[in-house]
């Protein structure tokens, strides 16, 4: 039975800061392998074959429900049933639970303003899951550790990526990611927008900096791959960000539109290795960057809205078939040329599957729905994205049954002696 935990207080979700296959979980991303013919498939008739769970769930969703699966917006309230004027003003629904139900949401993202206590966060995530009637939610956050640590009020204060990278010990990167994932999972969070896969080659970079594992592409690649495996060990989805590489910019994409002037050869040498390593490690998701990369796409559109970059480069050249998430769609870097509805449609057409934090959810949702009904976004294209999202949920054990977090278990796991010891070890090694 689901257990409700009473909570009070205020939840204000803020703008995201740009934000696996390993031991313990089957990868959802990585390069697509040829389908293996099982013994059952060779010996059983079609009527005897078990239906694919993902396709079974997909077949029961309406078009409106499929479109809703693409969105992971900002909500307001410290509990699923908290009445908020902000929710009413933005979504014409008073509580987080009613917003989830109204838009058939596939996910929700949490921020520091969510956090009052361990029991409160557990109650919030359990309540949000109860509000998703057909398909459990992806509940995400940006817990990179270091500078960007949304749940830092409750979780072990692990060193950030730069300090981990300085240790030159991939096993520490994996161990920290595993411990971080364990603490997130105990709180009811099943998706982390980490690790950062950018190579910080510009010392004037105002948005990446020490969030990256360093300025050496191969070292960053090694650390990113280890982190992806660590999150998989904890059965939490990992997200490599920000594709095709946000490391060489002096402009913050929250407030402007950076332009990366690398040639294709420089991209291959500097920016690509960590993303290739993440894909090889079975990363669940890759987050796009709101950056213009003229040598990869001459249109002037940011990578988030670029089919040559998301589909041509990430999908086709690098062979990634996991979930592509946009960076937050309320950031200035993606809102220069198009309105909030058109941004969402173009992101899907470019190849994105998860639409993170649209500035205007009703407008974005209706625009994508209208584009599907008009044929601008084909039913096949919509189903591709929903299928990837459902496969991610299946790989993390949340396709048909929502996880139920336990406040007692979270209290045991968060800031455990073992995790504090690991944090101290990394700090002394780096």
CA 361 to mean position of chain CA atoms: 18
- Average of pLDDT values for 363-376? 98
Q: What are phi and psi of 44, to 5 degrees?
A: -100, 150
Residue 55 pLDDT exceeds 80: yes
Active site residue 327: yes
Residue 326 pLDDT exceeds 90: yes
| Domain 52-429: assigned CATH number | 3.20.20.300
Could you say which of 192, 327, 340, 360 is catalytic? 327
Give the separation between CA 184 and CA 139, rounded to whole angstroms: 10
Question: Which residue would you say has higher pLDDT here, 335 or 40?
Answer: 335
What average pLDDT is seen over the chain?
A: 89
Q: Which two tokens stand for residue 7?
A: 């909570």
Rounded to whole angstroms, what are the CA distances from 222 to 170, 199, 218?
6, 12, 6
Q: Which two tokens stand for residue 278?
A: 């993440």
What integer pLDDT is reported at residue 115 of this predicted model?
A: 86
Q: Which two tokens stand for residue 305?
A: 């809205």
CA atoms within 13 A on the CB side of 401: 6
Every domain of the chain and the residues it spans: 52-429
What integer pLDDT is reported at residue 29 of this predicted model?
A: 63
| Number of DSSP helices (H) and strands (E) in the chain, helices first | 17, 10
Contact 246, 289 (CB under 8 A): yes
What integer pLDDT is reported at residue 34 of this predicted model?
A: 42
Q: Which two tokens stand for residue 237?
A: 């989805």
Could you say which of 254, 262, 290, 419 is catalytic? 254
Give the model confidence (pLDDT) of 10-23 as tens digits: 333 333 434 433 33
Active site residue 301: no
Give the model confidence (pLDDT) of 111-158 as tens digits: 888 889 999 999 999 999 999 999 999 999 999 999 999 999 999 999
Rounded to whole angstroms, what are the CA distances from 172 to 15, 163, 419?
30, 11, 12
DSSP 374: H
- The pTM is what? 0.88
CA 272 to mean position of chain CA atoms: 19
Residue 358 pLDDT exceeds 50: yes
């Amino acid at each position: 039975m689901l257990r409700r935990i009473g909570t009070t207080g205020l939840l204000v979700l803020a703008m995201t800061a740009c934000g696996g296959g390993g031991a313990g979980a089957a990868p959802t991303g990585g390069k697509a392998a040829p389908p293996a013919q099982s013994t059952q498939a060779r010996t059983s008739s079609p009527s005897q074959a078990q239906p694919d769970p993902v396709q079974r769930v997909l077949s029961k969703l309406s078009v409106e429900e499929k479109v809703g699966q693409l969105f992971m917006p900002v909500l307001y309230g410290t509990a699923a049933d908290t009445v908020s004027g902000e929710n009413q003003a933005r979504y014409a629904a008073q509580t987080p639970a009613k917003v989830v139900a109204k838009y058939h949401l596939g996910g929700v993202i949490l921020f520091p303003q969510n956090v009052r206590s361990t029991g409160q966060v557990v109650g919030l995530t359990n309540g949000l899951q109860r509000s998703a009637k057909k398909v459990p939610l992806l509940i995400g956050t940006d817990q990179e550790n270091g500078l960007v640590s949304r749940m830092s009020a409750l979780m072990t204060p692990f060193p950030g990526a730069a300090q981990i990278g300085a240790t030159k010990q991939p096993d520490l990167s994996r161990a920290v990611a595993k411990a971080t994932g364990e603490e997130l999972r105990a709180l009811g969070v099943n998706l982390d927008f980490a690790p950062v896969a950018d190579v910080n080659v510009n010392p004037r970079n105002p948005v990446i900096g020490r969030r990256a594992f360093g300025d050496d592409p191969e070292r960053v690649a090694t650390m990113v791959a280890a982190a992806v495996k660590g999150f998989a060990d904890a059965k939490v989805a990992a997200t490599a960000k920000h594709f095709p590489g946000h490391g060489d910019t002096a402009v913050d994409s929250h407030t402007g539109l950076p332009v990366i002037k690398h040639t294709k050869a420089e991209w291959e040498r500097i920016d690509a290795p960590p993303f290739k390593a993440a894909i090889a490690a079975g990363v669940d998701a890759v987050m796009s960057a709101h950056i213009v990369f003229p040598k990869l796409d001459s249109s002037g559109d940011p990578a988030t809205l670029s089919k040559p970059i998301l589909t041509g480069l990430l999908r086709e050249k690098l062979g990634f078939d996991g979930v592509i998430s946009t960076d937050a769609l309320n950031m200035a870097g993606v809102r220069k040329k198009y309105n909030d509805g058109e941004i969402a449609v173009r992101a899907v057409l470019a190849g994105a599957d998860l639409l993170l934090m649209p500035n205007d959810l009703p407008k974005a949702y209706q625009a994508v729905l209208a584009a599907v009904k008009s044929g601008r976004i084909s039913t096949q294209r919509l189903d591709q994205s929903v299928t990837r999202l459902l496969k991610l949920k299946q790989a993390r054990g949340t396709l048909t049954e929502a996880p139920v977090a336990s406040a007692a278990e979270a209290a045991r796991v968060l800031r455990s002696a073992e995790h504090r010891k690991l944090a101290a070890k990394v700090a002394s090694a780096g």
